[in-house]
Structure 1
Amino acid sequence: MESGPKLLHPWQGEPVDYRCVAMRFSREPGAADLGIALPDRIARAAPRRRAEWLAGRRCASEALRLLTGHGACLGMAPDRSPLWPGGTLGSISHSGDVAVAIAARADSCLGIGLDIERVMDGQGASEVAPEALTPRERRHLANDPFSVTLAFSAKESLFKALYPLLRRPMSFQLSELIAWGDQGTARLRLVEELSPQFPAGREIEARFARLGDLLLTRVLVTA
């Protein structure tokens, strides 16, 4: 079953104005594309990948419409990142049959990243921890599947927020989760220098929210 994109309000008192949208979508072959043109590499992809891509673009278009009054179908850059319209920036993610997107005005922040993940069980966390966690994180988090999920997702959001600024790959080992609280706030710390603007030791706030068995994270990079 598909449902149209719906506005989310996962956090209160955010420092910039943005719109966050989510939808549940079908992975069945032949899902309606609602007139969205598919890039060649997506048109050739498996039905599951096409459904994810279309749902993400539908969410992004609705987030832009709610933010600016004008929706748009995002293109895809050669590195597969979404091409946001001038004056805006944002992020797209999906997990299972849920897609999410967030859009903000480019003059309100430097970068914004969003990620959604199914909360891991013990086995999943033990498989992900060696790749996703730094040695310090493994000592403190590896026995708690929720914390592993939070660290993994927050780092994904951080990469999405920073990639348009740095245009360089980022491994999970370049940042670590150092704090999180019951109010849905967390902090990441850069382990290595990424640029003069993002030196080792810089801390960046993340937000998180539980949506059933899913975990949504958001990283906002300000000046």
Structure 2
Amino acid sequence: MQRLSLARHPGGLPDAFLLPFGVEEGDDAHFARHGLACPPSVARSVPKRRAEYLAGRRAALAALAEAGGGAVDLAVTPSRAPAWPGGFIGSITHAAGIAAAVALRGGAMRGVGIDIEHVATEGALDAIAQSVIDASERQALDGLAQRLGWPMALTVAFSAKESFYKATAATVGRIFEFSALKVVDAHDGTVEAETAEALAASLPAGMRFRLGYSLLLDDATVITSCAWSR
């Protein structure tokens, strides 16, 4: 288990906990070794899904313990999100071979989301761009693309929108499209964005968000965060 500082991300988030994993770690023996339950919906899944679920829960429990929570497992809600203990909020994410989680006391924070992604492959760029950003967002990402390359700039935008979704999903209560959040600027370590439509009473159109990002693993992977204050 590794600690990953999010101190440079907006919102004053605590460290995330990062855990590499292998597909072979999704068998019953690994769940038993760590004293964690495998929900039926996950038990029926492919080994990769079982392994990433276990790694994500292990990272989440480490983050929760650091925040002062005493949970020994996290159930799955009807929306398939983790059921965090009362008074705590958190987020779990995983990409191929790596999982991460963050947890903190709710307090002044309404929601938190993190997302980890490996840089998009050349063959996937067009499809991701068409579904995630529009022409004005592409222009807003130009400066970031000049520094990081277009594949990583697009991955940062995709991941930032995923983090926003996780931070706000419980309040919105429904699935919404990538177009609901528009990237308006991107700097070293931050993405400026605003809601393009009203998602809830507390999320009106035009609400601004500052999301954070850090590059990992020889700059081939990104972790983003969204800290939604009250």
Residues 1:161 and 2:159 are matched in the alignment: no
2-structure distance, mates of 1:13, 1:52: 25
Cα-Cα RMSD: 1.9
2:182 corresponds in structure 1 to 176
1-structure distance, mates of 2:79, 2:139: 35
Q: Contact 1:64 / 1:72 at 8 angstroms: preserved in 2?
A: no
> Please, which of 205, 219, 222 is the counterpart of residue 215 of structure 1?
222
Secondary structure of 2:109's match? Answer: coil
For the structure 1 residues 9 and 19, does the alpha-carbon distance in structure 2 shift closer, same or farther, using more than 3 Å as the test?
closer
Residues 1:26 and 2:22 are matched in the alignment: yes
Q: Deviations over 1:83-114 (max 9, x none)?
A: 00111011000011000001011113000000
Residues 1:205 and 2:202 are matched in the alignment: no
Deviating beyond 6 angstroms after TM superposition, the runs of 4 or more aligned structure 1 residues are: none
TM-score normalized with structure 2 length: 0.88
Which residues of 2 match residues 1-223 of structure 1 at below 5 A?
A: 5-12=1-8, 15-16=11-12, 18-28=14-24, 30=27, 32-33=30-31, 34-68=34-68, 70-138=70-138, 141=141, 144-182=150-188, 184-212=189-217, 213-223=220-230
1-structure distance, mates of 2:46, 2:225: 28
Identity, % of aligned pairs? 33
Secondary structure of 1:11's match? Answer: coil
Secondary structure of 2:175's match? Answer: coil
Q: Contact 1:19 / 1:104 at 8 angstroms: preserved in 2?
A: no
Q: Contact 1:56 / 1:99 at 8 angstroms: preserved in 2?
A: yes
Secondary structure of 1:179's match? Answer: strand
Q: Which runs of 5+ in 2 are unaligned?
A: none
For the structure 1 residues 16 and 139, does the alpha-carbon distance in structure 2 shift closer, same or farther, using more than 3 Å as the test?
closer
Q: Which runs of 5+ in 1 are unaligned?
A: none
Q: Deviations over 1:100-144 (max 9, x none)?
A: 001011113000000000012333222211111134224554882
Secondary structure of 2:66's match? Answer: helix
Q: Contact 1:209 / 1:217 at 8 angstroms: preserved in 2?
A: yes
For the structure 1 residues 80 and 135, does the alpha-carbon distance in structure 2 shift closer, same or farther, using more than 3 Å as the test?
same
Q: Which amino acid aligns with 1:156?
A: E
Q: Deviations over 1:161-211 (max 9, x none)?
A: 0011221211101111111212x1111111111123211111111000000
More helix by share: 2
Q: Which amino acid aligns with 1:21?
A: F
Secondary structure of 1:217's match? Answer: strand
For the structure 1 residues 78 and 9, does the alpha-carbon distance in structure 2 shift closer, same or farther, using more than 3 Å as the test?
same
Q: Contact 1:19 / 1:66 at 8 angstroms: preserved in 2?
A: no
